[in-house]
A = this chain, B = another copy of it.
Amino acid sequence: MPKRGMQPIRQRELILAAVEAIHERGLNGVTMGDIAKRAGVSPALAHHYFGSKDELLSATMRHLLGEFALAARRRLAVAGDPRARVDAILEASFAPDQFSPALISTWLAFYMQSVHDKAAARLLAIYLKRLEANLRHDLRPLVGDGAVAFARGIAAMIDGLWLHAALPTLHRSPDEALGILRDYVDGRLAAVALS
């Protein structure tokens, strides 16, 4: 049944299937067979379009990084003052379309991969540095020198809330996560305003 021009379609399907499969079996537990089956193609086709399992997983990671970066940029573009820009980042982190369990746990699987995989670590470091730089930039006018530590605190809390959101046992909602984050930010801003 060969229709031409399948390459980009199949690649996308395989990446989306990989996210689901990784959620079910874990990053290292997943097989090309798992992914291909979910995408409705043979394992050989997955190899044909990606060359290797590593390539497919790496493409999946880049896909997620791209999605998150895009969501953040879109929201930052329409945010006004620094406080609104901080909130744009928080909201982007917990936007409903970023927040399926499969997406989160795949994201975090790559996080863990970065502990012992140089290539993954490099990609993740770029993302994290940009996130923290954005936060720092907008926090500086609000809290001055405390901005570095504060930005790291917010970044850590975002990832911690994701981690907990990925655990089915805890059933945490994005809205709750956002509320907790805003309490953190506002509490600190109120405390700084007094000193």
Instruction: Please give the residue numbers on chain A whose beta carbons come within 8 Å of chain B beta carbons, in ascending order.
Output: 23-29, 105, 108-109, 111-116, 121-122, 124-125, 128, 146, 149-150, 152-153, 155-161, 163-164, 166-170, 172, 176-177, 179-181, 183-184, 186-188, 190-192, 194
A28 partner, pick from B23, B29, B159, B172, beta carbons under 8 A? B29
- Give the residues in chain B near A176, CB-CB below 8 Å: 149, 152
Are A156 and B169 also in contact (CB < 8 A) when A23-B116, A109-B112, A116-B25 are? Answer: no
Min CB distance A129 to B, Å, is 9
Q: List 25 A-B contacts (CB under 8 A).
A: A26-B112, A26-B116, A105-B115, A108-B112, A111-B167, A115-B166, A115-B168, A121-B169, A122-B169, A125-B169, A146-B183, A149-B180, A149-B183, A152-B164, A152-B172, A153-B181, A155-B164, A157-B184, A160-B160, A160-B163, A183-B188, A184-B184, A187-B192, A190-B190, A190-B191
8 Å CB contact of A156 from B112, B113, B114, B157: B157
List the number of copies, as a whole number: 2
With A23-B115, A114-B167 known, 17 other A-B pairs at CB within 8 A are A25-B116, A26-B28, A26-B113, A28-B29, A108-B115, A121-B168, A122-B169, A124-B167, A124-B169, A149-B176, A150-B183, A152-B176, A156-B161, A157-B184, A160-B161, A163-B163, A183-B188
Chain A interface main SS type: helix
Q: Is the CB of A156 within 8 A of B168?
A: no
Is there an interface contact between A167 and B116, defined as CB atoms closer than 8 Å?
Answer: no
